[in-house]
Amino acid sequence: MNAAADLQQWLDARRLEVDRALGEYLPSPPDCPTRVGEAMRYSLFAGGKRLRPMLALAAAEAANPSNPGLARSLAMPVACALELIHTYSLVHDDLPAMDDDTLRRGRPTNHVVFGEGLAILAGDGLLTEAFALMAREPRRAEGISTAELTARKLRALALVAEAAGACGMVGGQAIDLEAAGARTTLDEEGLRAMHARKTGALIRAAAGAGAVMGGASEARLAAIESFASELGLAFQIVDDILDVEGAAEDLGKTIGKDAAAGKPTYPALFGLERSRALATDSIHRALTTLRMAAISGHLPAIAQWVLTRTT
């Protein structure tokens, strides 16, 4: 079996596990009001690549290649929490006050279906439940003391919270809003810094938190986080390219909105050809980092997929 087929088989199996766990972890009536539960599930189970959960699970395996099953079970709550946070960010990004979009993952956005007020509450709910989940699970693990498990959970929580907050994803979105409103102009460094916060921070945290839960050494954790930083940049560059030349039916969202809104993007600053080269360079650096640290598993194949994806 070639690397691409092997990765696809692994991704298919892991997505089923993540979706099953998400269904179990997310509150439902009567624990929460019916309508807000419906709104959360509408966006959470609308499809999507599940990239951040996949990264967390792959990084956990890389941290403990001798027992990948145990590593994945330890990282599964973090993986699910990351998808909750990512989905919250999409729900809020689509609001009229933000990107004002009506299509996400191939169907009407949350606020179109449930109204703005409930969409905001659904996003708030997803974000808050993510941290409750990470604090609560896993409750125990064979061969790992309660103190060690608690230490891993706290460290993973800190990584994800910082990545999702004002110094990370929220801060990146604020920069994006200012740039789209022509209140500021971004050069190459500014564009990279914005995306490092808006998209890259949570991707880096996904890999880092997964590695922490898997029991990575400090050296292996540093290599995985460095890899993920380059992966996050490449992912965003490719996303910008697909907004120019992708197909709406493949991407499941409105195409060309970034250009129409005057948003700073890599193709707008560098053109398509140079943007592709920049994405390739980032993936090359990511793969080099893994090779130097003798890390294999599924992380290299995920990097290659990010570079060649069409969705």
Model pLDDT, residue 253: 54
pLDDT digits over 54-67, tens only?
999 999 999 999 99
User: Do you find a cis peptide bond into 30, omega within 30 degrees of 0?
Assistant: yes
User: Do you find a cis peptide bond into 96, omega within 30 degrees of 0?
Assistant: no
pLDDT band at 185 (very low <50, low <70, confident <90, very high): confident
pLDDT band at 160 (very low <50, low <70, confident <90, very high): very high
Enumerate the β-bridge partners of residue 144: 141
pLDDT digits over 54-104, tens only?
999 999 999 999 999 999 999 999 999 999 999 999 999 999 999 999 999
CA angle at 94 for the pair 92 and 98, rounded to the nearest 5°: 75
Close Cβ partners of 10 (under 8 Å, ≥ 6 residues apart): 298
Structure tokens at 7: 């990765």
Residue 183 has pLDDT above 60, yes or no: no
CATH number at residue 197: 1.10.600.10
Q: In the chain, how many domains are there?
A: 1
Taking CA atoms, 289 is separated from 77, 157, 200, 305, in Å, by 27, 25, 17, 17
CA 109 – CA 93 distance, rounded (Å): 10
pLDDT band at 186 (very low <50, low <70, confident <90, very high): confident
- Lowest mean pLDDT across 1-5, 51-55, 214-218, 301-305: 1-5
Model pLDDT, residue 1: 60
The structure's pTM equals 0.93
CA 10 – CA 245 distance, rounded (Å): 29
CA 181 – CA 196 distance, rounded (Å): 20
Residue at token pair 């990545």: 163
Where in the sequence is the domain holding 25, given as residue range(s)?
A: 3-308
Check: CB of residue 6 under 8 Å from CB of residue 301: yes
Taking CA atoms, 12 is separated from 15, 18, 280, in Å, by 5, 10, 25
Residue 256 has pLDDT above 80, yes or no: no
CA 8 – CA 29 distance, rounded (Å): 35
CA 187 – CA 26 distance, rounded (Å): 41
Model pLDDT, residue 285: 98
